Amino acid sequence: MKKSDFFYELPEALIAQTPLEKRDNSRLMALNRKTGEISHRHFYEIPELLRPGDCLILNNTRVLPARLYGTRKDTGAVVEFVLLKQLDANTWEAIAGPGKKAKTGVHFWFHPRLAADVIDVLPDGNRVLRFQFDGDFSAILDEVGQMPLPHYIKEKLIDKERYQTVYAKELGSAAAPTAGLHFTEALLQKLKRRGIGIGYVTLHVGLGTFRPVKVEEITEHKMHSEHFYVPPETADLISATKQSGGRVICVGTTSCRTLESMMRQEGKIAPCSGDTDIFIYPGYDFRCMDGLITNFHLPESTLIMLVSAFAGYENTMHAYQVAVEEQYRFYSFGDAMLIL
C-alpha cells in the first residue's frame, strides 16, 4: 500500500490543544470491525461496552520532562534539547536544535545544579550529552524540564500530570501513551468491579512515534526501536483471559506493539523484555490482541496504518471521515476509539 492511501483532510480546529477538565468525559467512537458499524459514546461508558472476563492491557510508562533549554557557556546561545535515551548514569542521547550550536566539546548550563557537555554527534544528528549535576537527577529534571509535547500542540500545558496517565510508573518515555490519558482511578475501579482484568506492560515511547513516513511505499519504512517489558503477572492474566474465552484489549498502539512483539519474540504468551521495531500495517496477522482503544492519529502515520491493519482499511478511513464530520477532537489530547 502507499503512504497516500492513509491521507485524510483534517481541519486544524479539530486538533485538541488542551486536555478536557475531566479525563473520562472525552467522546468515544465505538467501531465494530466486522460490520463497520459506528456508535457515538463517552469514555466513561467503557465498562458497559466490555464483558466480564475481558482484560485491558495498559502501558505504565511515565513521560520524562525531557525538553531542556541550555545556554552555551562561551556565547550565551540557547539550544533546545529533548532527551531520548539514557546511556548510563550521566549520559543521554538527545535531539538538539539548532544543532549547529551544539557541536562536540561545547558546554551548556541548564540550571545552577545542572550542566552538560556534548561529547559526540551521532550519524543521525542526535547528540550525546554527559551531565554534571548536584543532587538527584530525576528531581532536578522534574524541576527544570518541560513535557515534550508534540509539535501540533501550541498551547502551554499548565499541569504536567495531564500528559501522564493516572497509572504512569516506569520513567523513560519521550511521549505519552495517549489512549491511556482518558482513564481515571474511579473508572479503573469500576472496570475491576465489572470483572474486567487490568494488566500492565511497559513500552518506553520514543519521539520516532512522531516522525513522518517519508517513503511512498510503506513497506520500505523503517521503524524506530523502543524498549518493552511484559511482566509475569501480565502474561498470566493474558493466558487466563484467552483460556476462559475473554478478549485481550490493548489500550493504545504501544500496548498493541508490545504484545505483538512478545508473540514475535517468544512465539507464545510469556514474560519477556527487549527492543522492538515492529511495524504493523494492513495484512498483518494479529496473534494476541482482540480489541483496541486508541486516539485519532495523524494522516499517513504509522499509527493510522496499525489501526487500519486491525479494523480494516475501509472501516478505518470511513471512521475517520465520520469523526471529522462529527467534530471529534483529534490527536494526543483528543477523543478515543474502541475497536472490537
Q: What are phi and psi of 313, to 5 degrees?
A: -60, -50
Beta-ladder partners of 171: 62
Residue pLDDT, tens place only, 295-317? 999 999 999 999 999 999 999 99
Per-range mean pLDDT, top range of 138-147, 150-159, 324-333:
324-333
| pLDDT at site 220 | 95
Whole-number average pLDDT of the chain: 96
pLDDT over threshold 70, residue 277: yes
Tell me if 45 sits within 8 A of 28, measured CB to CB: yes
pLDDT over threshold 80, residue 79: yes
Beta strands in the chain (DSSP E): 27-31, 38-42, 55-59, 61-63, 67-72, 78-86, 91-97, 107-111, 114-121, 127-133, 170-173, 197-203, 226-230, 248-251, 272-276, 291-295, 336-339
Residue pLDDT, tens place only, 2-30? 999 999 999 999 999 999 999 999 999 99
Neighbours of 244 (CB within 10 A): 12
Q: Which three cell numbers stand for residue 201?
A: 506492560
Tell me if 150 sits within 8 A of 175, measured CB to CB: yes
pLDDT over threshold 70, residue 218: yes
| pLDDT at site 174 | 87
pLDDT over threshold 80, residue 207: no
210: confidence class by pLDDT, cuts 50, 70, 90? low
| pLDDT at site 209 | 67
Give the DSSP letter string of 1-18.
Answer: -BGGGG-----GGGB--S
Tell me if 58 sits within 8 A of 90, measured CB to CB: no
| pLDDT at site 124 | 86
Residue pLDDT, tens place only, 106-142? 999 999 999 999 999 999 899 999 999 999 998 999 9
| Percentage with pLDDT > 90 across the chain | 93
Neighbours of 254 (CB within 10 A): 28
Rounded to an integer, the average pLDDT of 90-110 is 95
pLDDT over threshold 90, residue 103: yes
pLDDT over threshold 80, residue 73: yes
| pLDDT at site 230 | 98
Tell me if 289 sits within 8 A of 340, measured CB to CB: no
